[in-house]
A = this chain, B = another copy of it.
Amino acid sequence: MKIAILGYGNLGRGVENAIKQNPDMELCYIFTRRDVKTLKVNSDTPVVNVSEIAKYKDKIDVLILCGGSATDLPKQTPEYVKMFNVVDSFDTHAKIPEHFKNVDTEAKKSGKLGIISVGWDPGLFSLNRMYANAILPEGADYTFWGRGVSQGHSDAIRRIEGVQDAKQYTVPVLSAIEKVKNGENPVLSTREKHTRECYVVAKEGADKARIEREIKTMPNYFIDYDTTVHFITQEELDKNHSGIPHGGSVIRCGKTSENTKHVIEYNLKLDSNPEFTSCVLVAYARACYRLNQEGQTGAKTVFDIAPCYLSSKSGDELRKTML
């Protein structure tokens, strides 16, 4: 299977890495908007400027889009599905229906397949919400994130005057998780589900009290949470907070009769958010190619794809070894 990637940030590097663990796939090209002469990659894959991409129309089975959800993917996915089967990790939940429609329209015209919103949330967490809801129609489900680094919240802190660098961890409230797992079906406010932990490097002479106040009262990002702020040195930040771990839980508790409860729980503990997301993208790239080979076109999400398409094993092997 001939795979190419567009975009060579954390996600692009993760895909490059993940493909090495999948012998039925080959990374053929890395497309970039940057200067191809200066971009250093971790393999001997040819690097090509994205302006040339149309020339590769018939040389690629699946193009994995590794751009961001804010500005890149809303344009790129409908654009490139005109030429390629594509997989993206579009994660702006509220805009998924619109994105789906845009990709679906173009993909149906071109006869290609576009799988959108692949990763762990949206992605594996969505699958688990869906399976658990279908199986236990009467119940409630909960998604907890963390402990993990939120890129968006870290960026928001960095934009505050006097902040040199920062890392923000989203932390689930363990006592809330326990209540859910006990089947108490609690009603939980935003504040009761997660706390926020900030590690901040202040510029020399900056007013730390003001920075802390600005963080804790920031609308949308922090005001609805119990937030702790730790001022540390750049050295400490680099040494202890350079990773991008993440994870979380999807828990559904349902009843089948008055006193009969069932709890379905799915947990992820990830040392690297982008490396794991990349692994999910690569597995769905396999599905994308196979389904298009079978004549499927348009946009799809993880809900629409039978699990067997993700695996390099045959149906016989899967039934023998994993069922």
Q: With an 8 A cutoff between CB atoms, is A163 at the interface?
A: no
Is B135 a contact partner of A310 (Cβ separation < 8 A)? yes
Contacts known (A275-B256, A276-B262, A323-B117); A130 close to B268, Cβ less than 8 A: no
Contacts known (A131-B310, A271-B261); A14 close to B301, Cβ less than 8 A: no
CA of A301 to CA of B133, assembled, Å? 20
CA of A318 to CA of B136, assembled, Å? 15
A300 shortest CB reach to chain B, Å: 9
Q: With an 8 A cutoff between CB atoms, is A311 at the interface?
A: yes
Q: With an 8 A cutoff between CB atoms, is A189 at the interface?
A: no
CA of A276 to CA of B265, assembled, Å? 14
Contacts known (A257-B275, A268-B263); A131 close to B124, Cβ less than 8 A: yes
Is A279 a contact partner of B316 (Cβ separation < 8 A)? no
Q: In chain A between 115 and 150, which residues have their CB closer than 8 angstroms to a CB of chain B?
A: 117, 122, 124, 126-127, 129-131, 133-138
Q: In chain A between 261 and 291, which residues have their CB closer than 8 angstroms to a CB of chain B?
A: 261-272, 275-276, 278-280, 283, 286
A273: nearest residue on chain B (CB-CB)?
A: B262
Q: With an 8 A cutoff between CB atoms, is A307 at the interface?
A: yes
Is B256 a contact partner of A322 (Cβ separation < 8 A)? no
CA of A320 to CA of B93, assembled, Å? 8
Q: With an 8 A cutoff between CB atoms, is A303 at the interface?
A: yes
Is B275 a contact partner of A260 (Cβ separation < 8 A)? yes
CA of A271 to CA of B311, assembled, Å? 33
A318: nearest residue on chain B (CB-CB)?
A: B303
Chain A: interface residue count, which band? 35 or more
CA of A262 to CA of B305, assembled, Å? 23
Copies in the complex: 2
CA of A276 to CA of B262, assembled, Å? 7
Is A97 a contact partner of B319 (Cβ separation < 8 A)? yes
CA of A265 to CA of B21, assembled, Å? 21
Is A130 a contact partner of B318 (Cβ separation < 8 A)? yes
CA of A127 to CA of B261, assembled, Å? 22
Q: With an 8 A cutoff between CB atoms, is A199 at the interface?
A: no
Query: Which of B22, B133, B311, B322 sits near A322, CB closer than 8 Å?
Result: B133
Contacts known (A279-B136, A322-B133, A323-B96); A270 close to B266, Cβ less than 8 A: no
CA of A127 to CA of B257, assembled, Å? 26
A275 shortest CB reach to chain B, Å: 4
Is B262 a contact partner of A265 (Cβ separation < 8 A)? no
CA of A137 to CA of B286, assembled, Å? 13
A122: nearest residue on chain B (CB-CB)?
A: B323
Q: With an 8 A cutoff between CB atoms, is A308 at the interface?
A: yes
Q: Which residues of B contact A97 (CB under 8 A)?
A: 316, 319-320
CA of A260 to CA of B245, assembled, Å? 9
Is B307 a contact partner of A302 (Cβ separation < 8 A)? yes
A-B contact pairs, 9 of them (CB 8 A): A97-B316, A124-B135, A130-B308, A134-B310, A135-B276, A135-B283, A136-B279, A262-B276, A264-B267
**Shortest beta-carbon contacts, A-B, top 5:** A134-B310, A303-B308, A265-B267, A263-B269, A256-B275
